[in-house]
Structure 1
Amino acid sequence: MKVIGITGGVGAGKSFILDYLKNNYGAKLLIADEIGHQVMKKGTTGYEMILKAFTSKILDNQGEISRPILAEIIFSDLEKREILNKIIHPLVKSYIQAEIENFRKIEEIKLVVVEAALLIEDHYETICDEFWYIYTKNEIRKQRLKLSRGYSEEKIEAIFASQASEEMFRKNCSVVIDNNLMPNEVYHQIDLIMKNREES
């Protein structure tokens, strides 16, 4: 079983790549952001730890943690972002490790793809066989975030500033997917990579 880690900046189109790997190569997907939702739900250890660190001002009407409120806080305050990361990321990583071990017991599963913005910083090389960087130009990423999420220029710049640089991604990833191209051209890149993996 091969475990591929996929990373890249916000708005790079990672979901597009994940869908293709799932639909065409039967990949099992482990998406850190989605798992992050699970580990901070009411009643979990993560919920209690975040509530203690950030107080009840982050809760919505149902008593759940409001992700938009939390996002506003952490993207404008580096110290608070680091506090949240120290709570969430170990919980997410443990969840992913456990899921991978479960997948290893199922013979039919040949490919697992882990998607996380902080694969490099959180040392997922201990879990993944290789890292793929999804590269998309900043201007395209900005357009996507404005259209799909309604983010302001200021918010986008703050998010970009909080993430790893292109140089860091390229330095630490053995595969770079150019996601500035037409869909069929992107698919062709993936098909060639997967074909080479099968032959090696």
Structure 2
Amino acid sequence: MTLRQAQDRLIVGLTGGIGCGKSTVAHLFAEHGAGIIDTDAISHQLTQASGAAIPSIRAAFGNHYIGDNGALDRAKMRALVFSDAEARQRLEQLLHPRILEQTKVQLQQMRASPYVIVVVPLLLQSSEYRKLVERVLVVDCDEHIQIERVMMRSQMTEEEVLAIIASQTPRAERLQLADDVIRNEDGLDELAAQVAALHLKYGQNNN
């Protein structure tokens, strides 16, 4: 029996490119009572000061990538991994098993939730997460909107944002593999309406 079957309720994998609005959509689902597991939040916990992954990152990459506060220097690491595929793979090998383990722990803790949304930016690139979820929900928007949002939010250059987009599953492939799609281009009210409709659908599927 898989963990998904043991949960006896719907587990939805939420993904999308950077800047598409995954966190906003997850927050709207939470307002409807859904259980939310955010793998980016787990990653931040693992790489904060005294986080469980810090000793391994220090050993693999050196003190240069650890800030004065003892946490991962995310800006330096981001610059490295999006210019060096081997470094990105090494970091993923350190973090991804720990993130998956914590995801499974949190799933066990959410038995009372009507359904669970697992937010995984790299969902479609991970066979482990694909096995974990029953449906794939993609949050989508045009690439130029992604770029504008991320540049404004994170003070990145257009080149840095494009490098991240290039490292993610292509938009066309995301849409092809999606069971459900939310378009995030027309404001919060429209976004909330799409979430509300899927909330009803996911609740009905929770038999």
Which residue number in structure 2 is paired with residue 22 of structure 1? Answer: 30
1:95 is paired with a residue whose SS is helix
Residue 36 of structure 1 aligns with which residue? 43
Count of aligned positions: 196
Distance 1:193 1:102 in 2: 23
Evaluate the alpha carbon distance shift between residue 154 and residue 78 of structure 1 in structure 2; reply closer, same or farther with a 3 A threshold.
Answer: same
- SS state of the match for residue 120, structure 1? helix
Please, which runs of 5 or more residues in structure 1 have no aligned partner? none
- Within the alignment, does 1:74 sit opposite 2:74 as a pair? no
Per the alignment, in what secondary structure is the counterpart of residue 124 of structure 2?
coil
The reply to whether residue 8 of structure 1 matches residue 13 of structure 2 is no
What's the TM-score, normalizing by structure 2? 0.87
Match in the other structure for 1:48 = 55
For 1:152, which of 149, 157, 169 is the aligned residue?
157
Distance 1:199 1:27 in 2: 13
Deviations 1:104-161 (A, max 9, x none): 2xx3x21221111111212212222211000011111111112111111111111111
Kindly report the root-mean-square deviation, in angstroms, between the aligned alpha carbons of the 2 structures.
1.6
1:115 matched to 2:122? The reply is no
Q: CA deviation at 1:43?
A: 4.3
Q: Are the counterparts in 1 of residues 12 and 118 from structure 2 also a CA contact under 8 Å?
A: yes
Cα distance in 2, alignment partners of residues 4 and 198 from structure 1: 12
TM-score by length of 1: 0.90
**Paired residue for 1:188?**
193
Give the AA of the match of 1:93: L
1:155-166 aligned within 5 A:
155-166=160-171
Deviating runs (4+, > 6 A) in structure 1? none
- Please tell me whether the aligned partners of residues 130 and 174 of structure 1 are also in contact (alpha carbons under 8 angstroms): yes
Q: CA deviation at 1:46?
A: 1.9
Distance 2:174 2:164 in 1: 16
Q: Which runs of 5+ in 2 are unaligned?
A: 1-8
SS of 1:39's equivalent?
A: helix
